[in-house]
Chains A and B, each alone.
Chain A
């Protein structure tokens, strides 16, 4: 079955760039679907960060757009998130997920990875 797995540093210093990767197994990213990143600060709700198609087309949350880059590597069957100039407010669990587009919904999620921004 399709599985997603996030990976990356659990601790990032303020002003630096947060980098995460989502490895997809059981499905080829090149076959279709959109793929997205969502985050959840401790004790709070969900926030969409952005989405990418296998072709590289991207869509970002307007509130984060100036700091976010999402890219895809079809040869490795993975996609990545970079969030620059991080602050403590970026501390959150970061999830990657598959996005269906006909009736847009995130139908398969990774387990999530906690990222703390602290010096």
Chain B
């Protein structure tokens, strides 16, 4: 099973700042199989990024994904108030696994 480790566990930033979230895999993951989700309290996760770098429908361009192999990054260029949430990475090789999440909180 591929284990995904996200860092940091909590990220405290202010609106307007840039956020960089990391997802590291225990073994190489095809870029096509890496996705990112946003989850707000009481809501289902929302797909942000698929194929490591492609934005899902309706996702603002301040969200971007990058990386390959075992290291992937989600970047939010300028934080808006609605971006403060928990973010998960996910891979789907022979089976699917999620990272443990990064909580993005208002500083």
Is B44's CB under 8 angstroms from A109's CB?
yes
Residue B72 is within 8 A (CB to CB) of chain A in the complex: no
Cα distance A106–B35 when bound, in Å?
Answer: 9
Instruction: Say whether A47 contacts B50, CB under 8 Å.
Output: no
How many chain B residues touch A (CB < 8 A): the figure is 24
CB distance from A78 to the nearest CB of B (A): 18
Asked if A106 and B47 make an inter-chain contact with CB atoms under 8 angstroms apart, the answer reads yes
Cβ-defined contact, B95 with A105, below 8 A: no
B1 interface hit (Cβ, 8 Å): yes
Contact among A36, A59, A106 with B45 in the assembled complex (CB-CB below 8 Å): A106
Number of interface residues of A (CB under 8 A): 24
Check if B95 sits within 8 Å of A107, measured CB to CB: no
List residues of chain A with CB under 8 Å of any chain B CB. 36, 45-48, 51, 59-62, 95, 97, 99-100, 102-107, 109-112
Known contacts A45-B88, A103-B32, A107-B56; 17 additional CB pairs below 8 A are: A36-B96, A46-B98, A47-B98, A61-B96, A62-B1, A100-B50, A102-B32, A103-B33, A103-B35, A104-B33, A104-B50, A105-B50, A105-B51, A105-B90, A106-B47, A109-B44, A112-B44
Contacts from B to A (Cβ < 8 Å): 1, 32-33, 35, 37, 44-47, 50-51, 54, 56-57, 88, 90, 92, 95-101
